[in-house]
Amino acid sequence: MTRQKRILSGITPSGNSLHIGNYFGAIKPQIELQNTDYETYYFIADLHALTTVKDSQTLRTNIMGIVLDYLALGLDPEKCVFFRQSEVMAHSQLAVVLGNYTSYGQMQRMHAFKDKLAKDASVESINMGLFNYPILMAADILLYKPYGVPVGEDQRQHIELTRDIAENFNKFYNQAIFPLPEPLISQKVGKIVGTDGQRKMSKSLGNTIGIFDDEAVIRKQIMSSYTDPNRLKATDPGKVEGNPVFMYHDLINDNPDEVTDLKLRYLGGRVGDVEVKEKLFQAHQRLFEPLRQRREILASDLGKVTEILTTGAAKASLMADKTVSEVYKIIGIA
């Protein structure tokens, strides 16, 4: 089995806009991979969003919102295959097959399921879409036989399950159908902490700093971010290490001298939180404002955006349908 020079990743439109954790942890690396000699496949995992989004108009808005974010951030449909999962039937087809090579025990160990159970649900009320989510995700990946999947740390377990399912299937039929995909997860930015300073920045936790939200929203998110809880006034020496606001500065601020100066003054008790946060807000503006304008231009011609997705789905289907035909033959359906 030759390893393919192919990369694949997706994003679920569970909300209508992305945050800086998504950007630095997943999207930026994905965009950089477009400029290598890997073929890149990126998709909007709209069927996955059904686990949490049941209102049809909300889902439509979410899908288009994430598509526009992705394109504005630099996804180039000339360089990658960009599509919606629901427009490529093979995702659902392969998921139905793969469920037969996955055990209930494996599924019960999945974090997303366990977290949901721990948080607010009883087993009886968990929908099967959520429970089966990792199988659909395995299908999403294996259809394209990619070398690697660039994602954040929270997706590691799902990639591991995908590898297990692939291995199981390959062994069962004694054929090397599916290459085992590598998780491409950055040590440094694979798990960006949220503004609560405790948990991973997540759409669903409301501890985010947005990218294209209104200026007032972004300012509020930055201003209310957790810093050093032991520092009561600006003249107290503060902690820089592990302080989320400085982590964000390191990611966002294009002026390293300013960041160094702020850090030194913070350590010495010579700067207030407000100035540190105000400078972070300004750096956010410098980085994302030009992209916001690009997003507005894209949003003014949604017909063109839909066309990009249709073309992408046709290209993706060529590859994905081939894999489904191959699988159908092997299992004895075709």
Q: Which is nearer to ligand ATP, 245 or 327 (CB)?
A: 245
Contact pick of 14, 40, 132, 253 for ligand ATP (by CB under 6 A):
14
Task: Fill in the DSSP letter of residue 15.
Answer: S
The yes or no reply on residue 204 touching ligand ATP (CB under 6 A) is yes
Say whether 234 sits in a helix, a strand or coil: coil
Cα 6–8–12 angle (5° rounding)? 175
The single residue of 79, 200, 220, 315 carrying the catalytic annotation is 200
CA–CA distance, 293 with 71 (Å, rounded to integer): 12
Q: Which is nearer to ligand ATP, 150 or 238 (CB)?
A: 150
- Encoded tokens for 257: 């001298």
Angle, to 10 degrees, between the axis of helix 273-299 and the axis of helix 56-72?
100
Q: Which is nearer to ligand ATP, 191 or 220 (CB)?
A: 191
The single residue of 5, 54, 114, 116 carrying the catalytic annotation is 116
The yes or no reply on residue 21 touching ligand ATP (CB under 6 A) is yes
Give min distance, CB of 9 to ligand ATP, in A. Answer: 6
**247-251 contacts: CB < 8 A, separation 24 or more?**
247/192, 247/193, 248/20, 248/209, 248/222, 248/280, 249/276, 249/279, 249/280, 249/283, 251/20, 251/24, 251/189, 251/192
Annotated catalytic residue 116 = yes
Size of the site for ligand ATP (CB under 6 A): 19
Contact pick of 84, 116, 203, 277 for ligand ATP (by CB under 6 A):
203
Q: Which is nearer to ligand ATP, 21 or 134 (CB)?
A: 21
Alpha-carbon dihedral of residues 273, 277, 280, 284, nearest 10 degrees?
170
Q: Which is nearer to ligand ATP, 47 or 201 (CB)?
A: 201
Q: Using CB under 6 A, which residues numbered 142 to 201 contact ligand ATP?
A: 151-152, 154-155, 190-192, 200-201
Say whether 332 sits in a helix, a strand or coil: coil
The single residue of 203, 263, 277, 279 carrying the catalytic annotation is 203
- Encoded tokens for 289: 């404002």
Annotated catalytic residue 233 = no
Q: Which is nearer to ligand ATP, 53 or 271 (CB)?
A: 53
Give min distance, CB of 185 to ligand ATP, in A. Answer: 8
Give min distance, CB of 193 to ligand ATP, in A. Answer: 7
Tell me how far the alpha carbon of residue 184 is from its chain's centroid. 12
Tokens 């916001």 belong to residue: 292
Annotated catalytic residue 220 = no
CA–CA distance, 323 with 328 (Å, rounded to integer): 9
Residue whose Cβ sits closest to ligand ATP: 25
The yes or no reply on residue 12 touching ligand ATP (CB under 6 A) is yes
Tokens 């504005």 belong to residue: 72
List the catalytic residues. Answer: 116, 200, 203
Chain residues that interact with ligand ATP, rule: CB under 6 A:
11-12, 14, 21-22, 25-26, 151-152, 154-155, 190-192, 200-204
